Amino acid sequence: MSDTPAATDDQSAMRADERRLVEAIGAQIREFRKQLDVTMAEVAHRAGLSVGMLSKIERGVSSPSLSTLTTIAAALNVPVTAFFRRYEEQRDCAYVRAGEGLVIERAGTRAGHEYRLLGHSIRSHITVEPYLVTLTDESEVFPLFQHAGVEFIYLLAGEVLYRHGRKTYHLKPGDSLFFDSEAAHGPEELISLPVRMIAVLSRAREHD
């Protein structure tokens, strides 16, 4: 019984991906047909399909088989692979308004460290997490963070003595660090508060 929710989530995600693919294929077929300035009836006749079926395919409400796509491609005189271009060109995009963003508790987060997530990747082979980090007089200094991947920080406000491995860096607004985050790192001394910085964490996506 405990496996059912996870299985349902996987099925929902798969259906969502399939729906996006079907919609992208339909939109690409319609675009090619209009570029050729031919009617739906003409293409349907050449492909041996009913107008109603072609209409459903173009609107993304019917999933065509590979053989059907092959006949439509022949009717439009394009390669079958051309129908997948629009889907392959889709890219993730996260828009966060000023002052918004999800405040989260990251693994290893210390008291008083506010991490506001500004976006995340969902289909890439790498995980990229941009954060707006705020440190105040209630924040603990902790120069011993360690995690897989690389990290980039850019100081927006305040001053901080930041440690990476055996070295420390006096960061002021406009300063940045890019480093291997498997080495111990973090704020060692908060010189001027509040400290606000952009932190971008990146690592290879883990697969089950």
Which domains does the chain show, CATH number per domain? 4-88 (1.10.260.40), 102-204 (2.60.120.10)
Q: Which of these ranges, 32-41, 49-58, 185-194, has the smallest mean pLDDT?
A: 32-41
Q: Are strands 126-135 and 113-117 parallel, antiparallel or unpaired?
A: antiparallel
Whether the per-residue pLDDT at 95 is higher than 90: the answer is no
Rounded to two decimals, what is the model's pTM?
A: 0.55
Mean pLDDT, residues 40-46: 93
Residues found in the chain: 208
CA pair distance 171, 153, nearest whole angstrom: 10
Name the residue with higher pLDDT: 88 or 76.
76
Name the residue with higher pLDDT: 21 or 195.
195
CA pair distance 17, 12, nearest whole angstrom: 9
Residue with tokens 């009836």: 41
Over the stretch 152-202, which tens digit does the pLDDT of each residue have?
Answer: 999 999 999 999 999 999 999 999 999 999 999 999 999 999 999 999 999
Whether the per-residue pLDDT at 116 is higher than 90: the answer is no
Residue type at 164? H
Mean pLDDT, residues 34-52: 92
Residue type at 22? V
Name the residue with higher pLDDT: 143 or 14.
143
Helix (H/G/I), strand (E/B), else coil: 126:
strand
Q: What are phi and psi of 128, to 5 degrees?
A: -125, 125
Cβ atoms of 152 and 119 closer than 8 Å:
no
Residues of 165-184 as b/e, b for ≥16 C-beta within 10 angstroms? eeeebebeeeeebebebeee
Name the residue with higher pLDDT: 14 or 191.
191
Helix (H/G/I), strand (E/B), else coil: 162:
strand
Neighbours of 24 (CB within 10 A): 19
